[in-house]
Amino acid sequence: MPILDRSKLLWIVATLAWGCADTDDDDSTEDAASNENEVDAFNPGYHFDECERNPDSPACRDAAQQDAALQDSAEIQDSAEIQDANDADAHDVSSDGSSTDAEADADAAQNCEGEHRIWDNKEGKCTCEDGWINLANDTCQDIDECAGDNSLCKFEHGKCKNIPGSYRCECNSPLYQISREGDQCLDVDECAQDGNLCPNGRCSNLDATQSETTLGYECLCNTGYVLNTTKDGCIDEDECAASTNPCGMALCENTDGGYECLCGDRGHYANGRCTCDDGWIFVEGLGCSPVDLVEVEAGTFLMGSSNGGTDERPMHAVSLKRFFMSKSEVTNGEYNQCVQAGSCTAAQYGNCECPNNNLSGFQNDNQPVVCVTWTQASQFAEWAEARLPTEAEWEYAARGTDAKPYPWGNEEPTCDRAIMKSGTAETTMGCGQKRTWNRCATFPTDGSEAFCDLIGNAAEWVQDHYNLSYSGAPTDGSEFINDNSNLRVRRGGSWDKGNATGLLSGSARDKAAEDHYDCITGFRVVHPIP
């Protein structure tokens, strides 16, 4: 509140003083008459001037005293108002940007250094957030509610887990999940949560107390599928790998969710067995073939001979995988099936080179087909889903792992064992018939030999090019290739050869051009096994 001007204050006091004197009715007339020349109480200018000229007059002295009292009162009131204003500024933001209580509290809170420390306005000091305890060194430490209260989360399968500043209830197994209220553990329905569980099967939820694993569910597999090792899914069952072949003599091929019994391109599976197209033979473990096949087990043998020609050297070890080879030489009847199918050209009997120039006795269905080139033989093998044997395969079938010189042992050939030239005269060719015989005519019935006519009857085309020696020959039984030669190897000798020629043995080698054909050369085929 502003302080009054001194002159105005004196005027007010004087006015009040004379006003009070004039209110006395009894003395009003006398005072007016006797004091005509006295001070005009209602003329401020006159009153101020008079008190300045005569300050000791009774009226002016009274006015001065009242002025001093009023001045003290005004200063006191003004001081109180200033203090009130200062107090208000301490609680409100002033227009000139001065500090407030809130800012003072903020300044104090800034002094609460450290994680989780806060300012307590009520207490007027630093303290810790809820869930934390204030240590003596003015740091905050997490309160382990779980350790301090054993009653927390004590429902079935529940457990208490301390977290910074608090705790939460969890379940003690992934097979349970905490309820929305957080006060119980519920069994998890894994099948409902994930519709992709148990592909190739059906998901069945288990009560957590029933589960023998940590899954909480079990897979019920569809037919043809089995549980995987972790029991969390179904995989295709390999029925063909079972100890008992479900296809019997047929080939078993595993399929997605099952298996299929195969009898080859020309075979048909029914009632647990395979049947083949007319003229084809079912071979167990292989399928249908136009020729009868014999299985040859894998093994290692010593190929070549130190007693034979120079082209049979050097002797060398060869290791072969398992394969099938035709039991006999391909016959006219078998070859003609290929001709009728359009996959082979006819044997060239009309102008075939022959020792006796008589070809009428070579074309019986059961006799070996002759008068075919190496290329024609290869065409038949391809049609039969086979190939010509390599030299190593042919010799391994003829001699075995003990490298005997003949399929039957060490005795030289006779007409009892081979169709050959039994003497020196031409009349002894073909054991007197001067031609080939029906297949397996001299085949022993005692089971001592697996193949017939490896020696004699017809010489046989093989896959390899002819090389002058075995130097550099493969040791795995594969074809010995020579791209600079059109000569191919013939094996086993023929009906017109005798022992003196040296060609009637398991190691002997002969040769002819790929396009050569005569009445002494035929072939057999091999089915390799993948």
Question: pLDDT tens, 353-384?
Answer: 998 777 889 999 999 999 999 999 999 999 99
Contacts 24+ apart (CB under 8 A), 188-192: 188/216, 190/215, 190/216, 190/217, 191/217
Maximum mean pLDDT: which of 114-123, 283-292, 356-365, 417-426? 417-426
Say whether 126 sits in a helix, a strand or coil: strand
* Res 216: pLDDT: 77
Alpha carbon distance 267, 277 (integer Å): 6
- Rounded to a whole number of angstroms, the distance between the first and last alpha carbons of the chain is 117
pLDDT of residue 429: 95
Mean pLDDT of 186-201: 82
Query: Would the pLDDT of 316 be above 90?
Result: yes
436-286-296 Cα angle (round to 5) = 60
Residue 354 one-letter amino acid: C
The mean pLDDT of 318-336, rounded to a whole number, is 97
Output the 3-class SS for 482-495.
CCCCCEEEEECCCC
One-letter amino acid at 245 equals: N
The whole-number pLDDT of residue 57 equals: 60
List, for residues 62-85, the tens digit of each pLDDT value.
656 665 655 655 555 555 555 555
Query: What are the E-state strand segments in 43-139?
Result: 117-120, 125-128, 132-134
**pLDDT band at residue 120 under the 50/70/90 scheme:** confident
* Length in residues, the chain: 530
pLDDT given at position 23: 43
Residue 145: CB partners within 8 Å, gap ≥ 6?
A: 131, 152, 160, 162, 166, 167
Tokens of 456: 């004699």
Q: Which residue has the tokens 């023929």?
A: 494
How many Å apart are CA 243 and CA 212, to the nearest integer? 30
Among 101-105, 152-156, 373-377, name the one with the lowest average pLDDT. 101-105
pLDDT at 421: 97
Mean pLDDT (the chain, rounded):
82
Over residues 227-242, mean pLDDT = 82
pLDDT of res. 38: 42
Q: Determine the 3-state secondary structure of 281 from DSSP.
A: strand
**Interval 381-402: pLDDT, tens:** 999 999 999 999 999 999 999 9
Confidence of residue 33 (pLDDT cuts 50, 70, 90): very low
Over residues 13-32, mean pLDDT = 45
Dist CA 326 CA 343 (whole Å): 19
Least confident among 80-89, 248-257, 316-325: 80-89
Residue 18 predicted with pLDDT over 80 = no
pLDDT at residue 212, as a whole number: 60
* CB contact set of 329 (below 8 Å; sequence gap of 6+): 368, 369, 439, 453, 457, 458, 460, 522, 523, 524
| Nearest-angstrom CA–CA distance, 525 and 374 | 12
Per-state percent for the chain, helix, strand, coil, to nearest 5: 25, 25, 50
- Res 434: pLDDT: 94
**Residue bearing the bigger pLDDT, 45 or 307:** 307
Model pLDDT for residues 253-281, shown as the tens digit of each residue: 888 888 888 887 788 888 888 888 888 88
Q: Report whether pLDDT(290) > 90.
A: yes
At residue 336 the predicted structure's pLDDT band, cuts being 50, 70 and 90, is: very high
Query: Which tens digits make up the pLDDT trace of 493-528?
Result: 999 999 999 999 999 999 999 999 999 999 999 998
- Res 406: pLDDT: 96
pLDDT of 118 strictly over 90:
no
Query: With contact defined as beta carbons under 8 Å apart, do 47 and 11 qualify?
Result: yes
Q: Which of 239, 226, 218 is nearest to 200 (CA)?
A: 226
pLDDT score of 413: 96
What pLDDT is recorded for position 3? Answer: 46
pLDDT at 2 > cutoff 60: no
* pLDDT above 50 for 149: yes
pLDDT at 58: 61
Q: What is the pLDDT of residue 34?
A: 43
- What pLDDT sits at residue 65? 66
Report the DSSP beta bridge partners of residue 316: 303
Task: Dump pLDDT digits (tens) for 51-64.
Answer: 555 566 665 566 56
Residue with the larger pLDDT of the pair 365 and 87: 365
Q: Which residues pair with 523 in a beta bridge?
A: 461
Percent of the chain with pLDDT over 90: 42
Predicted pLDDT of residue 35: 42
Helices (H), 323-433: 332-341, 374-383, 391-399
Mean pLDDT of 180-202: 83
Residue entry with tokens 């006295």: 38
Mean local confidence (pLDDT), 316-327: 96
